[in-house]
Chain A
Amino acid sequence: MSATTEIVFMLNGAERRVGVPSTMSTLEMLRDMLGFTGTKYGCGEGECGACTILVDGASVNSCLMFAVDCAGRQVTTIEGLANDPCARVVQDSFVKHGAVQCGFCTPGMVVQSVHLLATHPHPDELSAQRAIEGNICRCTGYKKIVDAIVDAGCAVGDRS
C-alpha cells in the first residue's frame, strides 16, 4: 500500500481533486475510485484497448498510464462523450451497423473512433482498420465496426 499523491485534473469537463497511490493506474482510479465503469479492464497491459480514454484529446490505454500523470490534464471517458455531437454520431452508427455484440470492447472502440474522426474526419476502410488495430473484439470480426466508423465519418463530415 503506497503513499498517496493529491492531483487535480479535468475529468469529463469537471475539475476533480483526488488522492491516488503512486502505483495506481488511471484505469483503476477511474473504475474503482471514481466509479466510471464505462471504461473496461480487458488485459491491464495495453494489448486490448478496452480501457481506451482520451487524454488532452489523444487516445490512451488508461491501464498503462499512472493516475498521478493525469495531473493538470483533460481526461475524457466514454461517459464524458454523452453530449459530444461527434461521439453521438459514432455511437448511433455502431448501433445501426451492428458493430456491438457482447459490447465489452465497445466503449474503447467508440473512444478510439472519436479520436480518429477528430484527426481524420473522412477515414476510409483501411485507415479505420489501422485506427482500431490496438482494440481487440472477439465477437464481431471487426467488419461491422469498420463499416460503422467509415459511415460515421461521412455523417460527421456532412455536418461540418
Chain B
Amino acid sequence: MSEVLQSTAPSTLIGQRIPKLDAPDKAAGRTRYVHDIQLPGQLYGAILRSERVHARILRIDTSKARALPGVSAVITAADIPDQRPIGVVKDNLPLKTDRVRSLRDEIAAVAAESEELARHALTLIEVEYEDLSAVTDAADSLLPGAMLIHPPIAGAKSGDPVGLAGRDDNIAMRFDYVHGDVGQGEAESDVIVEDTFYLHYVTHCCMGVSGVIAEFDAKGNLLLYSNTQVPFLHKREFAEYLHIDPSRVRIIQPPIGGGFGSKLDIYPFEVICVYLARATGRPVRMVYTREEEFMASPTRQPVRLTLRSGCKKDGTLTFRSVHTLHDNGAYTSWGATTPVVMMQAFASLYRLPHCEYHTVAVYSNNPYAGSFRGYGNLQATFAIESHMEKMAAAIGMDPLAFRLKNAHVKGEETGQGNIFRSCGFQDCLKIAAERSDFLHKWREYTGKQKEPGRFKRGVGLAAMLHVGGGAKIYQSDGCGTIIKIDDFGHVTLITGASEIGQGSETVLAQLVCEELGLPISAVSVVNNDTEITPWDVGVHASRTTFVAGNSAIGAARKAKDKILEAAAPRFACAPEDLDMKGGGIVRKATGEMLTNLPRFIRSLHFAQQSDLVITTNYYEPPSVHFDKGYKGDISAAYSWAAQVVEVEVDLDTGAVRLVKVTGAHDVGRVLNRLGLEGQIEGGVVMGQGYALTEDLQVEGGKIRNPNFRDYKLVTAPEVPQMDISFVESMDGEGPQGAKGVGEAPAISMAAAIANAIENATGVRITSLPFTPERVYRALHGALPELPTTPKVAA
C-alpha cells in the first residue's frame, strides 16, 4: 500500500462491508422496474424498423394498421411536422422521413391496447423502398466517390445541424492530438514497433431491456419514467424536442436493469414514445424485445488502430504515434467521442515525451455506437499494452521492469496536462506481479512454449489509467445534494446522482452517516425524480462516488455545523468542543453523550424561533476543460490498476480458458468494501467477455446474432479465480480519500489476456475476440494480416 492509513476509530463506517440499501427488495422480487409499471389507461407502443440497410422510403401505408381495433395511434414522420434531429451532433430524426440508413431505423410507431396488438399492427404497415448502395466498411466510407450517408440537403440554412443540412463527406467527427515532437522521439529510439489492431463490436446486454413510459398531464406537462443515466440533460433535451420549457418536463427514474453507459444518450424510441403519448393523450409504455435490444441499442465503438511506439535500450519510452478509424454507424452518439478518452491512455498511461494521435469517426450503414463502460479505453489499452510487451521483448527487459521504468509517480504532470496528485501506479504493478508470482511464471511459461503437449499456460500483465475524479466534459461536472434531518433524527439524503445498480446510494448514505455519527439505518436516499433532486450531470466517467460523494459530505457537514452551533450555547461550550457520534451530540474531549439527536432536533423545531435542519450543497470538482488541443487537467483525480491474468490455451482447439485474475487497484481509499469488490469482479468478467466470448457480428449492416444463444456472455462456470487488492493512495480531494473505480476493472483485461496468450504460445494476436477459431488460425499462421489504418488529411 502506498500510504498506510492510521487505523480509524472502530465505529467508522469507512472500509466496511455495507450491503446495498436496495438489495432486500431486489432479492424479494419487489422492485418495480420500468417494465413492471402499469399506469391506469396505459397503452403499449412499438416501433416499425427498417428492413433495408440503406434505402429511400418511397411510400408508407399505415391504413390497415390504423383500422385495427384496439390501435389508438399510428405515427410516421409525416404526422410529426415539428420533429427535430436528436443525438450528439443532431443527425438523427426519431422518425425517418425519406431515407433509412441502417436496419435499426425507425419508420413508424403504434400505440395499442396491448403489446401483442401493437406488434401485430406493425406487420400491417406497408413500406415501399428503393435500395441505395450501402457502405458497411469504415475504410470504404472514406474512398473518393463513396456513397454519402447524410448527403447535403437542398435549402438547408447555414448553421443547421447534420440532420437538417447533411454533409458533403462521411466524416462524423475527427480529433487530432499532439504533445512533444514525434519526429524527435523517433530519432531518439533504439527500437520502434508498429502494429495494426482491430477491435470488434460488442454491446451492453443489460438484463433489463430498454423501456420508457411517457405521459402528459392536462396542462401539457410531460412525465417520463425513464432509465436514463443523465436525467437533467434529458430533461432539457426533451423540452427542446417538444418546444416547451424544461420546467414542464419531469423525469422519474425507476430502478434500472443495468446501465454500463448505454443510457447516456437520448434515443429515438424515447422521443417516439413521447409523440405517441401526445397523439393519444394517454400514458404509453414502450419496452424492447431482447432481439430489438440487440438490433437497436448502441454498441461499443469498433476501432481500427495503427500504433507506432518507440523506446531506448535502457527501457525509456520515446514516442507513440496513433491513427484510428472508428465506424460511427449511421448516426452519431457518444461512441464518436471515445477518442477523447483514448488519447488520455495514449498520452498519459506511461511517462511519454512525444505523442500524436489522429482519428476520424466515419458514417456507415452499420449500427451506431454509443458509450460503454471504459469509453474507448479498452480499445486504446489493448494496443498500448500489447506494444509494451513487444518493446520489452525487443530490448530484453522483463515486462514488469519495463513498465515500472515508465510508470508515473505521485506529483507528475503528463504531456497532456493530467496532474497526478495521488498515484499508486507503481504499487499496483508490484502488488499484482508479486501476488500472482508473475515474473517466475512468465519465465517458466516462456521456456515451455516449444515443449510438446496440448495445453499451454501463460501469464500476462497489463495496466490502465482512467479518470477517477469526474471528467469536465459538460459545462459543469458537479452534483447537488439536499439533506433533511427530521424530528425523529432520520436523515433524508436527496442527491442528483442516479443509482444504476452500482451501489451509489449506499456509498453516499455511508459517507453522510459517517459525518453525522449515525448508523446506516438512519438514512434513506431519494435519487430518482428531477422534480425533487438537485442537478447532477449524470452517471458516467466513474464520477459518482467522487463527485456526488463530496457533494453529500459537504451537505452533511453543513447540517452538522448547524446542529452543533445551536447546541453549543445550551451546553455552555463552543461548537468546536462538540461532535456528533452514536446517534447524539457528544462532548468531543470526553465522549460524554449530551443529548440524542431526535430530541435535539425537536427542540430546535419547536422552539420560540423555530428552525429546521435542511441543508444544501453543490460540489464542482476542481478540474478544467480541455483546451482546443485536448490538453488540461480534466479530472480531479486519476485511478490506476494493474492486472495479471493466467490462461490455459488448448493448442488442438484454440480455446483459451481464463484461470486466474490478480488485480491491484488504486482506488484512493476503500469506502464500501463489498460494493467495491462487486464493481471490480463484475468489470473483470465484462472485460473477460470482451476479450474471449462476446462478438456482435455485423455483416453487410446486418446483425447476425441478436440473441443470447449466439452472442456469448460469460456464464458462472467460466468465471476465473480472482485475487483483488486495493491500493489506498488517499487522494486529497477525494471523499474520505476515495477515487472512482466503476470502469477501471474492464479496461486492461483484453490486453492482459493477449499478453498471456503470447506467453503461452509465442503468438501475438492483434484482433479481438480471442475465440477458438481466431486463436487456432493464429497458431497456424492463418490469420490474415490487418491492413494499416488509413490516414485522413485534416
Interface mask (B670-711 → A, CB under 8 Å = 1, otherwise 0): 000011011001111110000000000000000000011100
A137 within 8 A of B: yes
Whether A102 touches B23, Cβ cut-off 8 Å, given contacts A45-B709, A138-B207, A140-B682, is: no
Nearest chain B residue, comparing its CB with the CB of A43: B290
Residue pair B678, A98 in contact (C-beta under 8 Å): yes
* Contact partners of B715 in chain A: CB under 8 A: 133-134, 136, 142
Nearest chain A residue, comparing its CB with the CB of B256: A102
Whether A98 touches B677, Cβ cut-off 8 Å, given contacts A133-B717, A138-B686, A146-B716, is: yes
Residue pair A82, B28 in contact (C-beta under 8 Å): yes
Residue pair B682, A130 in contact (C-beta under 8 Å): no
A42 shortest CB reach to chain B, Å: 5
Nearest chain B residue, comparing its CB with the CB of A44: B290
Distance between Cα atoms of A35 and B38 in the complex (Å): 9
* Contact partners of A97 in chain B: CB under 8 A: 674
* Contact partners of A32 in chain B: CB under 8 A: 114-115
B598 within 8 A of A: no
B128 within 8 A of A: no
Residue pair B501, A139 in contact (C-beta under 8 Å): yes
A136 shortest CB reach to chain B, Å: 5
Binds A, one of B14-22, B319-327, B607-615: B14-22
A105 within 8 A of B: yes
Residue pair B19, A104 in contact (C-beta under 8 Å): no
B31 within 8 A of A: yes
Contact of A100 among B26, B204, B719 (CB under 8 A): B26
B258 within 8 A of A: yes
Residue pair B717, A144 in contact (C-beta under 8 Å): no
Contact of A140 among B22, B116, B209, B681 (CB under 8 A): B681
A67 within 8 A of B: no
Which residues 65-99 of A have a CB within 8 angstroms of B?
Answer: 77-79, 82, 90-91, 94-98
Residue pair A95, B501 in contact (C-beta under 8 Å): no
Which residues 245-267 of B have a CB within 8 angstroms of A?
Answer: 255-260
Nearest chain B residue, comparing its CB with the CB of A135: B716
Distance between Cα atoms of A31 and B44 in the complex (Å): 15
A57 within 8 A of B: no
Residue pair A48, B708 in contact (C-beta under 8 Å): yes
Contact of B678 among A47, A77, A79, A140 (CB under 8 A): A140
Nearest chain A residue, comparing its CB with the CB of B32: A37
Residue pair B681, A102 in contact (C-beta under 8 Å): no
Residue pair B208, A100 in contact (C-beta under 8 Å): no
* Contact partners of B503 in chain A: CB under 8 A: 101
A50 within 8 A of B: yes
Whether A94 touches B260, Cβ cut-off 8 Å, given contacts A45-B290, A82-B28, A132-B716, is: no
* Contact partners of B716 in chain A: CB under 8 A: 128-130, 132-133, 135, 137, 142, 145-146
Interface mask (B277-314 → A, CB under 8 Å = 1, otherwise 0): 00000000000011000000000000000000000000
* Contact partners of B204 in chain A: CB under 8 A: 138
Nearest chain B residue, comparing its CB with the CB of A103: B26
B30 within 8 A of A: yes
* Contact partners of B685 in chain A: CB under 8 A: 141-142
Size of A's binding interface in residues, CB under 8 A:
55
Residue pair A41, B209 in contact (C-beta under 8 Å): yes
Nearest chain A residue, comparing its CB with the CB of B38: A35
Residue pair A47, B31 in contact (C-beta under 8 Å): no
B167 within 8 A of A: no
A86 shortest CB reach to chain B, Å: 13
Distance between Cα atoms of A91 and B682 in the complex (Å): 20
A107 within 8 A of B: yes
Residue pair B17, A98 in contact (C-beta under 8 Å): yes
Distance between Cα atoms of A15 and B683 in the complex (Å): 44
Distance between Cα atoms of A37 and B503 in the complex (Å): 23
Nearest chain A residue, comparing its CB with the CB of B257: A104
Residue pair B501, A40 in contact (C-beta under 8 Å): no
B205 within 8 A of A: yes
A143 within 8 A of B: yes
Residue pair B27, A110 in contact (C-beta under 8 Å): yes
Residues on A facing B (Cβ under 8 Å): 1, 31-32, 35, 37-45, 47-48, 50, 77-79, 82, 90-91, 94-98, 100-107, 110, 126, 128-130, 132-146
10 cross-chain CB contacts under 8 A: A1-B116, A32-B114, A40-B33, A95-B23, A102-B501, A110-B27, A138-B206, A141-B682, A141-B686, A143-B681
Residues on B facing A (Cβ under 8 Å): 17, 19-20, 22-33, 35-36, 38, 114-117, 204-209, 255-260, 289-290, 500-503, 674-675, 677-678, 681-686, 707-709, 713, 715-717, 719, 722
The 7 closest A-B pairs by CB, nearest first: A38-B29, A102-B501, A103-B26, A78-B29, A104-B257, A141-B685, A47-B708
